[in-house]
Structure 1
Amino acid sequence: MVVPLKDYPGVSMRRLKVAGQIAAGTTYIELDDVQVPVSNLIGQEGLGMRYVMTNFNHERLSIAVGVTRTARVALAAAFAYVLKREAFGKPLVDQPIVRHRLAKAGARLESQWAWLGGPTTMLKAQAGLVLRECADTAVLLFGGNGYTRTGQGALAEMIYREVPGARIPGSSEDVLLDLGVRQLVKLYKAKTKALESPASKL
């Protein structure tokens, strides 16, 4: 149902301080004997969870797309930095260990783009893992600059703080990976049964 929030009897709100996604305005809302008109009911009574569940995959897909883009921003910032930052008279990118870290994160990021057309539960779970890898890489390659909220590493540091906010909403990756495997098992059994049917042997 639609519940008016601001200055409405029985509604109290308290802003929650979170690590990232500051602009989201995360708020604790408490409803105490709130009265709303019957006309504020959305859909049929008792079907609220079903309505919420029909939106899960849309939410997960939009999160995955945004998170994948954020991972690319983090890795691009690190890439630009190691091309210009010098240590021991050479750009950081000349160090094999730096190239290895870029390659490892880059490989995961590029494979994530292929997932964007695949199973949504696995896609969303993988997106958070890829973002974590790319954010870690960016912060580590920025070195001390990656640990500050100002200067050259500010973007990498900010994205690093946003990682949990990408991995938790839309169901955590543990829940999604389990759901994804259960869906694959169901699909496998259905396809195997179809192959064993007499009609498939014609």
Structure 2
Amino acid sequence: MQSMYFTEEHQLFRESLRDFLSKEVIPHIDKWEATGTIESFIWKKFGEMGYFGLATDEAYGGLGLDLFYTVIFLEELQRVNSGGFAAAMWAHAYLAMTHLNKNANHEQKLAYLTPSVNGEKIGCLGVTEPFGGSDVAGMRTTAVRDGDEYIINGSKTFITNGVYGDYCILAAKTDPSAGNKGISIFIVDLDSKGVSASKLNKLGWRASDTAELAFDNVRVPASNLMGCEGKGFTFIMEAFALERLVMGINAHARAEYALEYAMQYMSERETFGKPINQYQALRHRLVDGHASMDLCKQYNYGVVYKMNKGEYVVREATISKLKSTEMADKVAYDCLQFLGGYGYIEDYPMARMFRDSRLGPIGGGTSEILKEIIAKIIIDKKEYRLPKD
């Protein structure tokens, strides 16, 4: 535990959360991985424990805690060894609910944020489309005003919680001629007439429901517009920093857990009369993985510290996701190799870790896109500033 960032209260929270996950989540993980469905009771239990409200104001049922509680929440979720389950939880709390926390009005918060804190409503974020992911300004989904409603047409894809969720924080163009200034954000109930969801069959993250959503003349009350028309792009860009930092933290925690498991296995597995952790080729390879993991971990904690103080950490969060997810992929590859043939068997945890880790350099902005963002900052001197109201 890093005393520079974590207090005794943080440590007690970690111990309590780890105990909760051990008793209430881990016994069900294999079933949820096999069925691709997370049973509804666990959402309510997370809500009762306050885990969805760590970053939400107390006025709406949250706890209003600092970001290092969020770090602990993300790190401990990786230890259940289900990237899909973890993603369902953090996509609800830190993709959908981030927009409700920051951009919803009082009535919207009462209707959606408080039930989300309590685990009574499950949210998802709808930005990515079949025709483009990181090209947010190029989205094709439209929202046309019709009296006291908007009529939404279009589609979104790779939407975590999109099949079994209750609402979607949806980006759509209210003025297609205005480029990124014509994008707005809506809260759309997923049981609305005209909404359909197709479940995607993924390589990893098997426990989570990932959807392609279609919107066919879906009528949404004008009161479900967040902010005002044209503010959507600003809202999305502001939230990207947190999303990428979340994925960087997930990655270092995933790698740390993989290394712990591999070290335990290597201490018990013997060949030629000695544990395999005594072979220099394996020892040094594991040390390389541990060093890379710890560098990312300490960097990520530093970025969280800056964000917790209110700094706009676009560059730092982008670097966090880029380097941490690529590191975690390498660590998962090596740790599977340490297990030999057993690493390739589904009864051992490394196979799932290996598959789940592969999404890291893809989701939330591919490594290629992230490198271009960083290049614009450090080479082209592009400045990203906190959006003004």
Q: TM-score, normalised by structure 1?
A: 0.85
Greater share of helix residues, 1 or 2?
1
Q: Distance in 2 between matches of 1:21 and 1:188?
A: 35
Which residue pairs with 2:342 in the alignment?
145
Pick one of 166, 170, 185 that aligns with 2:360.
166
- State the partner residue of 1:34: 218
Instruction: Give the strand-richer structure, 1 or 2.
Output: 2
Which one-letter code corresponds to 1:4 in the other structure? D
Pairwise CA distance, 1:23 = 2.8
Of 188, 209, 219 in structure 2, the residue corresponding to residue 3 of structure 1 is 188
Aligned to 1:178: 372
Alignment counterpart, residue 285 of structure 2, candidates 90, 101, 106: 101
Q: 1:58 to 1:188 in 2, by over 3 A?
A: closer
In the alignment, the residues of structure 1 paired with residue 359 and residue 263 of structure 2 have an alpha-carbon distance, to the nearest angstrom, of 24
Q: Secondary structure at the match of 1:23?
A: coil
Any unmatched runs of 5+ in structure 2?
A: 1-185, 304-315, 384-389
Question: Aligned-pair distance for 1:167?
Answer: 1.8
Contact 1:74 1:159 in 2 (8 A): yes
- AA aligned to 2:226 is I
How many residue pairs get matched?
A: 185
In structure 1, distance between residues paired with 2:198 and 2:350: 30
Superposed structure 1 runs of 4+ greater than 6 Å apart: none
| Structure 1 unmatched runs, 5+ | 190-202
Q: What residue in structure 1 maps to residue 257 of structure 2?
A: 73
Q: Per-residue CA shift, 1:67-96, capped at 9, x if unaligned? A: 110110011111111111011111101111
Counterpart-to-counterpart distance in 2, 1:44 and 1:164: 37
Instruction: Report the CA distance between 1:40 and its aligned residue.
Output: 1.3
Contact 1:10 1:34 survives alignment (8 Å): yes
1:74-93 pair list within 5 angstroms? 74-93=258-277
Partners in 2 of 1:18 and 1:84 — Cα distance?
33
User: Which of 128, 139, 161 is equivalent to 2:325?
Assistant: 128
State the 1:114 CA deviation.
2.8
SS of the equivalent of 1:19 reads coil
SS of structure 2 residue aligned to 1:76: helix
Residue identity matched to 1:158: R
Aligned partners of 1:82, 1:21: CA distance in 2, in Å? 26
Aligned to 2:68: none
- The structure number with the bigger radius of gyration is 1
